[in-house]
Amino acid sequence: MPSYKNARAVADVRQVLSELIPTLKDPRVTGLLSIVKLELARDYSHCTVYLSSMDGLEGAKSAVEGLRSAQGHLRRELGLRLRLRRTPELHFVPDNGIEYSARLGQRFRELHIGQPADSAEDVENNDG
């Protein structure tokens, strides 16, 4: 079970990385990127960051390559901004969470297009 201190460190690392990623000048790191999940080892030695892009899985893979090349810069900035026992080694993993959510939302909207919406009158008539 994750401790309160580890959960707070995860939130801090997520916040700092969310601030740092848009400032990178690498052309591969473009578009809307979102940190879907962040796993921090108990001893703070490793941090796995799952990233999703609005451009889909291919956009996330491209962004991950750019972030891997900027890993040293991100780790140094993370160490300067946070006071952790150890600055974690960053591992970036592409994820398709945003694209999947968008497709799921579209499917839900398609399901409700052909069905009439319940109105207050229908509910009152069915009550009896």
Average pLDDT, integer, range 55-80: 91
- 79 is in which domain, residue-wise? 4-113
Tell me, what's the pLDDT at 120? 47
Q: How confident is the model at residue 71 (pLDDT cuts 50, 70, 90)?
A: very high
Please indicate, yes or no, if residue 120 is contained in any of the structural domains: no
Tell me, what's the pLDDT at 15? 95
Q: How far is CA 62 from CA 44, 45, 55, 108, 124, in A?
A: 26, 25, 10, 29, 55
Kindly report, residue by residue over 14-66, the tens digit of the pLDDT.
999 999 999 999 898 887 888 999 999 988 999 999 999 888 888 889 999 99
Tell me, what's the pLDDT at 109? 86
Residues 6+ apart with CB under 8 A from 96: 52, 56, 57, 60
Please indicate, yes or no, if residue 75 is contained in any of the structural domains: yes
Please indicate, yes or no, if residue 84 is contained in any of the structural domains: yes
Domain count, the chain: 1
Please indicate, yes or no, if residue 92 is contained in any of the structural domains: yes
Tell me, what's the pLDDT at 53? 86
Please indicate, yes or no, if residue 105 is contained in any of the structural domains: yes
More confident residue, 98 or 74: 74
Please indicate, yes or no, if residue 123 is contained in any of the structural domains: no
CATH code of the domain covering residue 68: 3.30.300.20
Tell me, what's the pLDDT at 125? 56
